[in-house]
Amino acid sequence: MKNNPQSARWRVKPSEQRYILLLGDIIMAGLALLISLYLWGAGDQWLKQFSAEFLQARVQIWFYFIPVIWILLMVELYDTRRARRQRDTLIGISIAALISAALYLVVFFITPEDLPRRGVAIFIVAVTLLTILWRLVYIRVFTAPQFMRRMLIVGAGKSGMALLDVLKGISPQPFYLVGLIDDDPNKIGLKLNDYPVLCGSSCLLQMIEDEAITDLILAITGEMNGTMFQAILDAQEHGIEITTMPVVYEDLLGRVPIFLLETDWIIRNFVDQARTSFFYEMGKRLMDLVGSLVGILVIIPFLPFVVAAIAIDSGFPVFFFQYRLGKSGKLYQIIKFRTMSQDAEKDGVVRITTENDSRITRVGWFLRKTHLDEWPQFINVLRGEMSLVGPRAERSELVHELQQKIPFYRARLLIKPGITGWAQINFGYAATVEDTAIKLEYDLYYIKHRNLITDVVILLRTFGSVVGFRGQ
């Protein structure tokens, strides 16, 4: 079915959808704040007690910042991939509500009677219901065809097929893919993963007009012929957005397609695009220092209990020391709570930890699920050997082995390893070389796009993983 090309102005990009999500959440949190103030101030007398005097006398300034806390707890749902899925949305909002309720119970039991326990409770209920309503409206609207970008893939070869495979695993679809364009006459008329190869470059402009195309995705890995190049330039002059396949891959999955990149990609991207400023490096180091000091102070009260649990369950030693590769391949000694049996590698063979690994002890399972086993690494962060956020630190033996099998693997060593990272929050255990390659794609995406806001988001999502008991 053909659409009116003028409707393209209403087809919102994923980056623009994040701002819409945030704006909607802010409005809902603001409404919830007003509702909580009104019902708290009115009490059983309704309008009689709600007044400017009440706001001045009873409402402390910190109460107005409760919506900010709610927005921070919602951080995982600003990933448009998650935000478009109803199940993920409901789970994310429920977790935020449960964390809020837990904080509310702490306030309820440890604060004096005159603090706004009723106001906080009303806010949690109101903001949860309003946010669910808003997010369901968002899903309904932005998965509707009239609001989706309409795409054509230019190139039906290896790169184009890889993108089709990615789209096949995504639901709901992030955009409406009309089909593919390719100048190979043997491919025209074929269906690839249920998408038709429509025609060659000669009919590109007509196809754009007939199908109200908003974007072209360039998925040509080899040389582009002059006719196709000119057709793409003409399309751009008509206002069509031009995007390359690796960029779309990154936007859809939050990782880079390492097996589809040319050998000079690491130089072009990490020398030209991924350099960071002095202010970022200074801000990141300051965040590492503050975060590691806070982490050490927080773990101290729990230290006797963790030590006792490990000792009773599997004996000593309690701490685990092992050499890992840091930035630029420099060796350092990592510190963790021991979660495996003492003879985990008694034969001297280095093994990757797998899900449900039989070497993990009972207490070790709990420590991994809650990420408590990672907390001694704050000492490594304080020393400057690690960062709060970065790729997972690996042993030199594994790095040497994996770099022979996975392209760009050693690029992980361009920055400091981290206690948590983009790969850790987006992917589980890497039990195979294929899984490790996927985790590398996440790591390289982080290295390419890293900034302080991304670091804060990763830390907040890690906190959600700890509370949700989703560690591994």
Contacts with 74 (C-beta within 8 Å, 6 or more apart), sequence order: 25, 92, 93, 96, 131
265 domain residue, yes or no = no
Residue closest to 306 by CA, chosen among 350, 278, 269, 336: 336
315 domain residue, yes or no = yes
Provide the mean pLDDT of the chain.
82
Q: In the prediction, which pLDDT does 272 show?
A: 57
Euclidean distance between CA atoms 127 and 129, whole angstroms: 6
Q: In the prediction, which pLDDT does 224 show?
A: 82
Please check whether residues 173 and 83 belong to one and the same domain: no
Please check whether residues 283 and 224 belong to one and the same domain: no
CB 179 within 8 A of CB 206: no
461 domain residue, yes or no = yes
Q: What is the mean pLDDT of residues 23-52?
A: 74
The amino acid at 326: G
* Token digits of residue 238: 């008509």
Q: What is the mean pLDDT of residues 23-47?
A: 78
Q: Which of 126, 142, 158 corresponds to the end of one domain?
A: 142
Residue found by looking up tokens 């590698």 in the block: 345
Please check whether residues 26 and 50 belong to one and the same domain: yes
Domain assignment of residue 192, given as a range: 149-253
Q: In the prediction, which pLDDT does 83 show?
A: 87
Please check whether residues 450 and 322 belong to one and the same domain: yes
The radius of gyration computed from the CA coordinates of the chain, to the nearest angstrom, equals 26
Residue found by looking up tokens 């309003």 in the block: 130
Please check whether residues 161 and 133 belong to one and the same domain: no
Residue found by looking up tokens 């982080």 in the block: 446
Please check whether residues 452 and 318 belong to one and the same domain: yes
Q: In the prediction, which pLDDT does 1 show?
A: 37
Please check whether residues 155 and 130 belong to one and the same domain: no
Q: Which of 204, 237, 253 corresponds to the end of one domain?
A: 253
CA 370, 92, 170, 269 dihedral sign is negative
Q: What is the mean pLDDT of residues 40-60?
A: 55
402 domain residue, yes or no = yes
3 domain residue, yes or no = no
pLDDT at position 43 over 60: no
54 domain residue, yes or no = yes
Q: What is the mean pLDDT of residues 111-127?
A: 76
CB 59 within 8 A of CB 116: yes
Q: Which of 181-191 are b and which e, b meaning 16 or more Cβ less than 10 Å from the residue's Cβ?
A: bbbeeebbeee
Here the CATH number for the domain that contains residue 195 is 3.40.50.720
Please check whether residues 323 and 400 belong to one and the same domain: yes
Please check whether residues 297 and 446 belong to one and the same domain: yes
Per-residue pLDDT tens digits for 380-439: 999 999 999 999 998 888 888 888 888 888 888 889 999 999 998 888 777 788 888 999
pLDDT at position 320 over 70: yes
Euclidean distance between CA atoms 68 and 87, whole angstroms: 24
* Token digits of residue 437: 């390659």
Domain count, the chain: 3
- DSSP annotation string for 177-204: EEEEE-S-TTTTT-EETTEEEEE-GGGH
Q: In the prediction, which pLDDT does 58 show?
A: 58
Q: What is the mean pLDDT of residues 42-54?
A: 52
262 domain residue, yes or no = no
CB 307 within 8 A of CB 318: yes
Please check whether residues 384 and 292 belong to one and the same domain: yes
Euclidean distance between CA atoms 301 and 392, whole angstroms: 27
Q: Which of 142, 159, 178 corresponds to the end of one domain?
A: 142
Please check whether residues 360 and 439 belong to one and the same domain: yes
Q: In the prediction, which pLDDT does 355 show?
A: 62
Please check whether residues 350 and 448 belong to one and the same domain: yes
Q: In the prediction, which pLDDT does 53 show?
A: 56
**In 300-359, alpha helices (H):** 303-314
Lowest mean pLDDT among 42-46, 156-160, 386-390: 42-46
Q: Model confidence at 47, in pLDDT bands (50, 70, 90)?
A: very low
415 domain residue, yes or no = yes
Q: In the prediction, which pLDDT does 118 show?
A: 75
Q: What is the mean pLDDT of residues 299-310?
A: 88
